[in-house]
Structure 1
Amino acid sequence: MTTIPPADQPLLDREPTKADIRRWQQYLADERAEGAIYRELANRRDGEERTILLGLAEAEKRHEMHWLSLLGDHANDRRRPSARRILLRFLARHFGSVFVLALAQRSEGNSPYAADQDATRTMAADELIHEEVIRGLAIRGRNRMSGNFRAAVFGANDGLVSNLALVLGIGATGVANSVVLFTGIAGLLAGALSMGAGEFVSVRSQRELLSASKPTQITLSAAPELDINANELVLVYRARGMSKEDAEHRAAERLGYFACDCNPTFSLQPELQEEEEDEFETTGSAWGAAGSSFLFFASGAVIPILPYLFGMGGTPAIITSTILVGIALLMTGGIVGLLSGASPLKRGIRQLAIGLGAAAVTYVLGLLFGTSVA
């Protein structure tokens, strides 16, 4: 009969091999590094987030003790943590940003404990839970930066792709380098102004729409004059999406009219006169979004024309522009991947393929147009 070890103590029915010891030593080094990462992040935060991060560090300490007990004297032979954890600790110590949490989320999600017989089931479950904890903390950071950051990322990406496509399309026709340069500058200014204005109108309109949809406090001032028997206050709450039963209960609370053996009262309870609060999507400020969109579009759009600004022309300038924009697209795609908890490499490659694909179409059109004109 097979003996199943307790959740917190695996059964070792063999002598550890050299491979076992090396693996355990690596686990130990990684657990120590992860604990240090969470402590570094906690030092840059306060309140509830600090408490959560210190709790994660304490859990990593328990995992560390597990590997110490298995290693015995072999624990004295220290190994370096993985390159990912070294990078995470550096970023946590010097930045402590949402990017670190996004990377830590991926690290916890790739834990090998579930498939390792020497790790306890509790440890494997801990790592799964840690991923969700880090995801929750990362979401807080993403929400704080979602408004203006969204405008910045998309503005930079649009600037890169649209101006590269414009420069390549015009350059392929064989016109003078000065024409390509001024066309690129015009595209930069026109696109940046358009993006800024469009983002301002979009965010302002969205905020106005949300404001118009937010419930008012008219129910509090009108409630004392309502007919209790008709109680049209119920209709207000049903219009807001409540069921009939929930609406009746909320109306009774508002009016102080409760089903009980006592006589009902018709006075609003002071503790129930709080403002109705609804959670709306974070939109950021209209001016902030417009400014971010303008500046980041311009910063992206200037990259394709850099070779022309430095006197290059012809095919070398086109190749240089494409390489520079390709690097920038990989970076912006990787950043979006990090923030979304996805693979930075995959997101970067996807961004690169989309951007260069769009530019290639205009380049081919430019070649065809230049040939037909010639």
Structure 2
Amino acid sequence: VLGIAGTGADNRTVLLTGLAGLLSGALSMGAGEFISVRSQRELLAASTMGSAHVEAYPHLDVNANELALVYRARGMSPEQAQAHAKRQLLAWPNVDAPPASAARHELVGSGLSAALSSFAFFATGAAVPVLPFLLGSTGVVALVIASILVGAALMLTGAIVGVLSGAAPLPRALRQLAVGAGAAAVTYGLGSLFGATLG
């Protein structure tokens, strides 16, 4: 939003660009999160023994080295494969216990819920600088209001992160504000430069 405003574009152009960026960014984040979670679940499923493996395992003459070769063929590093094979062999006597994969899948979560959450959070954050333009403010007034709203949102986010991580909220809030303000200043400067060059 600040980059387009820096080019000297009119209020309508800034608003449409901001809304387009909001939707495209939120959809991109949601799609990326969905693919990431689904891929992680598939990798977990590929590295976990299923029911067929459980039934066949007692009849196999296999040791940790041979099992490690199987995991290496699936793409694990030699160290990871060896460690995973040892864990599987040590866990084998307790085959009646619920498979660990269920808990691991629960920790990873659902791809759809992760995508929706990512979409909602990104859209909420991206809507903050667009609000003044959406409500009819124009020019410098809209930019000042947008900057204040974004600064407040950044400080609130930083303070929440500080509280959740057990650190002092004020330094985290100020750090978040400084990083965001720096990025906004660079974006506005580039927009002004492009506007002057192309205009």
TM over 0.5: yes
Q: Tell me what 2:74 maps to.
A: none
Q: What SS class does the counterpart of residue 232 from structure 1 fall into?
A: coil
Q: Tell me what 1:199 maps to.
A: 33
Give the counterpart letter for 1:273 in structure 2. D
In the alignment, does 2:142 pair up with 1:310?
Answer: no
Q: Tell me what 1:15 maps to.
A: none
How many residue pairs get aligned? The number is 185
Give the counterpart of 1:338 among 147, 151, 163: 163
Q: What SS class does the counterpart of residue 311 from structure 1 fall into?
A: coil
In the alignment, does 2:40 pair up with 1:232?
Answer: no
Alignment of 1:273-352 (within 5 A): 273-277=96-100, 280=104, 282-352=107-177
TM-superposed deviation, 1:225: 3.4
Give the counterpart letter for 2:30 in structure 1. G
Superposition CA RMSD, Å: 2.8
User: Could you tell me how far apart the structure 1 residues matched to 2:100 and 2:11 are?
Assistant: 58
The superposition leaves residues 283-305 of structure 1 with CA deviations (integer Å, 9 ceiling, x where unpaired) of 22111111111112111111101
Closer/same/farther in 2, CA of residues 313 and 292 from structure 1, 3 Å limit? same
Give the counterpart letter for 2:62 in structure 1. E
TM-score normalised according to structure 2 size: 0.79
Q: Point out where structure 1 has 5 or more consecutive residues left out of the alignment.
A: 1-166, 255-270
Give the counterpart letter for 2:110 in structure 1. S
The superposition leaves residues 256-309 of structure 1 with CA deviations (integer Å, 9 ceiling, x where unpaired) of xxxxxxxxxxxxxxx653345266482221111111111121111111011111
Aligned-residue sequence identity (percent) comes to: 52
User: Could you tell me how far apart the structure 2 residues matched to 1:222 and 1:240 are?
Assistant: 21
Q: Tell me what 1:126 maps to.
A: none
Closer/same/farther in 2, CA of residues 168 and 274 from structure 1, 3 Å limit? same
Alignment of 1:145-294 (within 5 A): 167-218=1-52, 220-226=54-60, 231-235=61-65, 241=83, 250=90, 254=93, 272-277=95-100, 280=104, 282-294=107-119
TM-superposed deviation, 1:338: 1.8
Closer/same/farther in 2, CA of residues 247 and 205 from structure 1, 3 Å limit? closer
User: Could you tell me how far apart the structure 1 residues matched to 2:156 and 2:124 are?
Assistant: 14
TM-superposed deviation, 1:322: 0.7
Bigger RCO (CA 8 Å, 6+ sep): 2
Closer/same/farther in 2, CA of residues 274 and 237 from structure 1, 3 Å limit? farther
User: Could you tell me how far apart the structure 1 residues matched to 2:121 and 2:84 are?
Assistant: 43
User: Could you tell me how far apart the structure 2 residues matched to 1:345 and 1:233 are?
Assistant: 55
Closer/same/farther in 2, CA of residues 224 and 293 from structure 1, 3 Å limit? closer
User: Could you tell me how far apart the structure 1 residues matched to 2:82 and 2:97 are?
Assistant: 17
**Is 1:219–1:233's contact at 8 Å kept on the other side of the alignment?**
no
**Is 2:11–2:139's contact at 8 Å kept on the other side of the alignment?**
yes
The superposition leaves residues 36-89 of structure 1 with CA deviations (integer Å, 9 ceiling, x where unpaired) of xxxxxxxxxxxxxxxxxxxxxxxxxxxxxxxxxxxxxxxxxxxxxxxxxxxxxx
User: Could you tell me how far apart the structure 2 residues matched to 1:367 and 1:186 are?
Assistant: 20
Structure exhibiting the larger radius of gyration computed from Cα positions? 1
Closer/same/farther in 2, CA of residues 172 and 290 from structure 1, 3 Å limit? same
Higher helix residue share? 2
TM-score normalised according to structure 1 size: 0.44
Give the counterpart letter for 1:206 in structure 2. Q
Give the 4+ runs in structure 1 shifted more than 6 A: none
Q: What SS class does the counterpart of residue 241 from structure 1 fall into?
A: helix
Give the counterpart letter for 2:16 in structure 1. F
Alignment of 1:63-212 (within 5 A): 167-212=1-46
Give the counterpart of 1:360 among 185, 193, 196: 185
User: Could you tell me how far apart the structure 2 residues matched to 1:306 and 1:180 are?
Assistant: 11
User: Could you tell me how far apart the structure 2 residues matched to 1:211 and 1:325 are?
Assistant: 42
Q: Point out where structure 2 has 5 or more consecutive residues left out of the alignment.
A: 69-80
